[in-house]
Amino acid sequence: VDETHAGTPGPRKVGRAVFLGAVLGGVSSLYWGNAAWSRVSAAISPLENGLPLVPTGGWRIYTVSGHLPGFDPKTWRLELGGHVEKPVSLAYNELVALPKVEQVSTFHCVTGWTVKNVRWGGVRLGDVLGLAGPKPTAHALEFVSAEVPYVDSLTLQQAGLHDVMLAYEMDGAPLPRAHGAPLRLVIPEMYGYKNVKWLKRIDLVRTPSDGYWEVQGYDRDAWVGRSNGYGT
Amino acid sequence: VKPGYRRRFSRTERTLHWANAFFFGFLLATGLVLYLPSLAVDIGRRPIVQSVHFWSGIAWICVLVAIVLCGDRRGIVRTAREVDAFDRDDWRWLSGRRPAPQGRFNAGQKLNTLLTAAFVVLFLVSGLLLWLGERDTRLRFASTVVLHDGLMYASLVLLVGHLYLAVLHPATRHALRGMTTGSVREEWAARHHAKWKAD
């Protein structure tokens, strides 16, 4: 033992370096954390079912009220109203009888997480709007969730993007309750908070208004990578 | 302190440890309700759970600071110096070479303490950024949520190792007594912490 101490200096104060290094490394991860995490989650995704602590597929379930709305296919209806030629009320079986479309897209949450390759199945928003016939005075749409008080809006132009849809299927199965069963808006060009879950009503209106998060300062035009402080 | 025993942790140190343990457990539980989809669906009530989680995080930091300020401050500073200092034997200990006589804290305990303290700071910073970023987009970073979640995983790894050594591993679990009653057996201390001089 004594040999190892021959001529050695006293203890060195390196603990503070470990502490500061960990803090600075952690803070710096604000800039590289997401890229690193997507590699890690790609590597562990085959094991995910065996790792109960990892959220399935990278989803996090964000809600604004105490309970997730329920779904009864017998009583559920999608209402279309406001500035339309003919108000429409669709039952679930009428909705799924409309021409079906599918898309695979990436879901971006404004808080930073993304889910790649989500397979949505449903109807084009334009097809549903066509049933009601927007009046010339209608320039925007207001989406009302069964989760009170969640609402959000799109301009008619934004709603006309080719891949905007009302989804009743996710990854080949009926839309799960946590993801907005039975119907949610999908607009992959915009952050998740525009993709209203538990959709129950669409109103055509003259001008768009602030949705649930927009009242609290989020951007109304929530383009992925170009809004809410990102990409500016 | 009973004969044959030696005082290892002061009351301030023990209070700090158990307050930290309590708040970590509570924040882990409420955090998982927010994080795991299955719990988010079964338990729900996200807005309430969210503010309970946030405000108990603030309370966590305040309680830790208050314990240090109201307790044996000098003792805590002395402990911080011990944890800061790594000598030749600590490096030998970390690289698995023996003998490597250790002080009151062995090198692994020092590392655990330093990382845990760093994680507390990072939990606070990332948690505040999550809360503030919801209110001001200038404070929003794409990776804040990844940092906060990553800290949770890293802390769990430390915690599992810590619990194994403190509760299960036969050679080391006597240390738990030091954190509950404050003292450990002289004979155990001589074996595991040979360089630790009694006060």
| pLDDT tens for each residue of B169-189 | 999 999 999 999 999 999 999
**What pLDDT, in 10s, does the model give residues A52-70?**
556 656 888 999 988 889 9
| Distance of alpha carbon B152 from alpha carbon B81, whole angstroms | 27
The answer to whether residue B93 scores a pLDDT higher than 90 is: yes
**What pLDDT, in 10s, does the model give residues B18-54?**
999 999 999 999 999 998 888 888 888 899 999 999 9
Which ipTM value was assigned to this complex? 0.94
Quick one: pLDDT at residue B140? 86
Which residues from chain B sit within 8 angstroms of residue A68, using beta carbons? 41, 44
- Kindly report the length of chain B: 199
Whether the CB-CB separation of B143 and A112 falls below 8 Å is answered with yes
**What pLDDT, in 10s, does the model give residues A15-41?**
999 999 999 999 999 999 988 888 887
Contact check, Cβ <8 Å, B37/A60 = yes
| Distance of alpha carbon A116 from alpha carbon B153, whole angstroms | 22
The answer to whether residue A5 scores a pLDDT higher than 70 is: no
**Chain A contacts in chain B segment 145-184 (CB below 8 A):** 145-147, 150-151, 153, 156
| Distance of alpha carbon A206 from alpha carbon A84, whole angstroms | 11
| Distance of alpha carbon B74 from alpha carbon B81, whole angstroms | 11
E strand intervals along B4-98: 5-7, 85-86
The answer to whether residue B142 scores a pLDDT higher than 80 is: yes
Mean pLDDT of B140-166: 94
Quick one: pLDDT at residue A50? 54
Task: Give the list of residues 6+ apart from residue B15 with CB closer than 8 angstroms, or none.
Answer: B67, B71
The answer to whether residue A8 scores a pLDDT higher than 80 is: no
- Shortest Cα–Cα distance, A13 to chain B (Å): 5
The answer to whether residue A105 scores a pLDDT higher than 70 is: yes
Chain B: residue whose CA lies nearest to A36: B146
Quick one: pLDDT at residue B199? 59
Q: Where are the alpha helices (DSSP H) in A69-210?
A: 92-96, 125-132, 156-159
| Distance of alpha carbon A121 from alpha carbon A103, whole angstroms | 7
Q: Tell me the helix, strand and coil percentages in chain B, rounded to 5.
A: 70, 5, 25
Nearest residue, CB atoms, A112 vs list B46, B85, B146: B146
- Shortest Cα–Cα distance, A146 to chain B (Å): 15
Residues facing A205 on adjacent strands: A140
pLDDT band at B197 (very low <50, low <70, confident <90, very high): confident
* DSSP classification of residue A137: T
pLDDT band at A131 (very low <50, low <70, confident <90, very high): very high
Q: How far is CA B88 from CA A1, A5, A20, A21, A172, in A?
A: 11, 7, 21, 21, 60
Q: What is the pTM of this model?
A: 0.87
A130 touching chain B per CB within 8 A = no
**What are the φ and ψ backbone dihedral angles of B175, each rounded to 5 degrees?**
-60, -30
| Distance of alpha carbon A182 from alpha carbon A92, whole angstroms | 8
The answer to whether residue A3 scores a pLDDT higher than 50 is: no
**What pLDDT, in 10s, does the model give residues A143-176?**
999 999 999 999 999 999 999 999 999 999 999 9
- Shortest Cα–Cα distance, B34 to chain A (Å): 8
Q: How far is CA A9 from CA A4, A13, A68, B88, B193, in A?
A: 11, 12, 64, 8, 21
Mean pLDDT of B6-12: 96
